[in-house]
């Protein structure tokens, strides 16, 4: 989603100096000062409202900013700078046709204000129209730039995912080749040792068992070397993949919250834990809805997996034991309840 850069939002307020300047060289009454100050505060409030909103929800603050600028123009012609902000946000939030319509509407407002209210400022309409069109174009360009950056980011993520898939396929092929060859050798040695034992050729059988143990140790070493470079496709990618498996099995899936950025060690552990929890749902749940929720609090990052299946009691098997062992290594623990069935844990933040 396109967003405005909130970090520098306060910097751009400097353009309101053209609105504030008349405060110092025009003699206004106290009431007029109060009204102009209230208008300025309300305008800045709308400005930050827009910065907190996605483009689809910018319409109301934009309209309110345009209304404030129009209402205060009879007192302060520096409101031209306010119209420039409105034009920029229209260019950022809407497509080019909508931008042109919005700018045309603003210029019509300037024409009416110039005709009925502006006195002693012959260049109000000229400057205002030029500023609205120019600053609006900057909004359009900024939207285009951010859309391009977002597209590049997505492309980079897709390339990364494809590279991960290729790596996983390579590992799968290597494991297939290694294990196929090794297991064939182990079966052959085991059968031969069994026959030698039946024939009471104990020395020969012992030799075959020693070779079998060597093959097993060598296979274990090769497997470790193969998978040592294994890289999962990230927590977000795994959540998407597991959600797909649940949906294929007939479950409705609701993923809530923002997926946290974790260290490589924590992310790998969370991926394996989440995989085990989803596997338990696929095997044992009699429900049809699954919720995966990520949240953050003062303690750390929390993950909860729950479903609407009915469970009378929960028996702890190897899967839950393995999860607890992984969490213990991260100074965390697994909590669960059976009605509704849910599992949760917290990864504590570093002090």
Q: What is the pLDDT of residue 100?
A: 94
For the cut 80, the answer to whether the pLDDT of residue 304 exceeds it is yes
Q: What is the pLDDT of residue 136?
A: 92
Using CB atoms within 10 Å of the CB of residue 25, give its burial: 0 to 12 exposed, 13 to 18 middle, 19+ buried: exposed
More confident residue, 110 or 265: 110
Q: What is the pLDDT of residue 119?
A: 78
| Interval 7-36 mean pLDDT | 87
Mapping DSSP onto H, E and C, the string for 204-245 reads HHHHHHHHHHHHHHHHHHHHHHHHCCCCCCHHHHHHHHHHHH
Whole-number Å distance between alpha carbons of 86 and 189: 81
Q: What is the pLDDT of residue 137?
A: 93
Q: pLDDT, tens digit, for every residue of 191-221?
A: 888 888 888 888 888 888 888 887 777 777 6
In contact, 294 and 259? CB cutoff 8 Å: yes
In 9-148, where do the E strands start and end? none
Whole-number Å distance between alpha carbons of 179 and 223: 8
Task: Flag the least confident range among 109-118, 206-215, 276-285, 313-322.
Answer: 313-322
Pick the CATH number of 234-348 from 3.40.50.170, 2.60.40.10, 3.30.1490.20, 3.30.565.10: 3.30.565.10
In contact, 270 and 329? CB cutoff 8 Å: no
For residue 293, the cross-strand partners are: 256, 304
Q: pLDDT, tens digit, for every residue of 67-91?
A: 999 999 999 999 999 999 999 999 9
SS3 124: helix
**Domain spans of the chain?**
6-152, 163-227, 234-348
Q: Is the peptide bond before 20 cis (omega within 30 degrees of 0)?
A: no
In contact, 82 and 17? CB cutoff 8 Å: no
More confident residue, 224 or 121: 121
CB atoms within 10 A of CB 106: 23
Question: What fold characterizes domain 163-227?
Answer: 1.20.5
Whole-number Å distance between alpha carbons of 248 and 242: 10
In the chain, where do the E strands start and end? 252-256, 289-296, 300-307, 335-338, 341-348
For the cut 90, the answer to whether the pLDDT of residue 45 exceeds it is yes
Q: What is the pLDDT of residue 225?
A: 59
For the cut 80, the answer to whether the pLDDT of residue 42 exceeds it is yes
- Give me the DSSP letters along 54-78: -GGG-HHHHHHHHHHHHHHTTT-GG
H/E stretch holding 1 reads none
Whole-number Å distance between alpha carbons of 66 and 104: 13
Q: pLDDT, tens digit, for every residue of 102-152?
A: 999 999 999 999 999 987 778 899 999 999 999 999 999 988 888 888 888
Share of the chain above pLDDT 90, in %: 31
Q: What is the pLDDT of residue 188?
A: 76
Both tokens assigned to 139: 């909004």
HSE value, Cβ hemisphere, 13 Å, CA-based, for 328: 6
Whole-number Å distance between alpha carbons of 107 and 139: 17
**pLDDT tier at 173, thresholds 50, 70, 90:** low
Task: Flag the least confident range among 272-276, 299-303, 338-342.
Answer: 338-342
What b-and-e string marks burial along 142-152, b requiring 16 or more CB atoms within 10 Å of the CB? bbeebeeeeee
Q: Which residues contact 291 (CB under 8 A, 6 or more apart)?
A: 253, 254, 255, 256, 304, 305, 306, 307
In contact, 336 and 342? CB cutoff 8 Å: yes
Q: What is the pLDDT of residue 167?
A: 67
Task: Flag the least confident range among 19-33, 181-195, 222-236.
Answer: 222-236
Say whether 234-348 and 163-227 share the same fold.
no
- Would residue 189 be called left, alpha or beta, if left means φ above 0 and alpha means ψ between -120 and 50 degrees? alpha
């Amino acid at each position: 989603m396109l967003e405005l850069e909130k970090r520098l939002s306060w910097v751009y307020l400097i353009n309101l100096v053209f609105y504030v300047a008349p405060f110092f060289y025009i003699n206004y009454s106290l009431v007029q000062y109060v009204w102009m100050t209230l208008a300025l505060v309300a305008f800045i409030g709308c400005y930050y409202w827009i910065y907190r909103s996605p483009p689809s929800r910018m319409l109301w603050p934009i309209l309110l900013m345009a209304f404030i600028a129009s209402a205060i123009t009879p007192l302060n012609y520096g409101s031209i700078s306010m119209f420039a902000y409105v034009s920029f946000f229209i260019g950022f939030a809407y497509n080019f046709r909508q931008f042109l319509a919005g700018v045309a509407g603003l210029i019509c407002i300037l024409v009416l204000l110039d005709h009925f209210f502006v006195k002693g400022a012959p260049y109000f309409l000229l400057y205002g129209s030029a500023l609205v069109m120019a600053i609006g174009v900057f909004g359009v360009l900024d939207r285009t730039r951010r859309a391009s950056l977002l597209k590049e980011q997505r492309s980079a993520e897709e390339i990364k995912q494809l590279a991960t898939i290729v790596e996983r396929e390579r590992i799968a092929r290597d494991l297939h080749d290694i294990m196929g060859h090794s297991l064939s050798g182990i079966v052959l040695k085991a059968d031969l040792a069994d026959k030698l034992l039946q024939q009471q050729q104990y020395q020969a059988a012992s030799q075959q068992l020693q070779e079998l143990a060597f093959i097993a140790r060598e296979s274990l070493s090769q497997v470790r070397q193969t998978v040592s470079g294994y890289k999962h496709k990230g927590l977000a990618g795994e959540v998407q993949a597991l959600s797909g498996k649940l949906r294929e099995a007939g479950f409705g899936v609701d993923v809530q919250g923002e997926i946290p950025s974790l260290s490589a060690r924590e992310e790998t552990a969370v991926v394996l834990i989440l995989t085990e929890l989803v596997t338990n749902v696929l095997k044992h749940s009699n429900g049809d809805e699954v919720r995966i929720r990520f949240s953050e609090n003062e303690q750390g990052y929390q993950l909860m997996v729950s479903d609407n299946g009915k469970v009378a009691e929960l028996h702890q098997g190897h899967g839950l034991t393995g999860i607890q062992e992984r969490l213990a290594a991260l100074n965390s623990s697994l909590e669960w309840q059976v009605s509704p069935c849910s599992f949760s844990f917290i990864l504590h933040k570093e002090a």
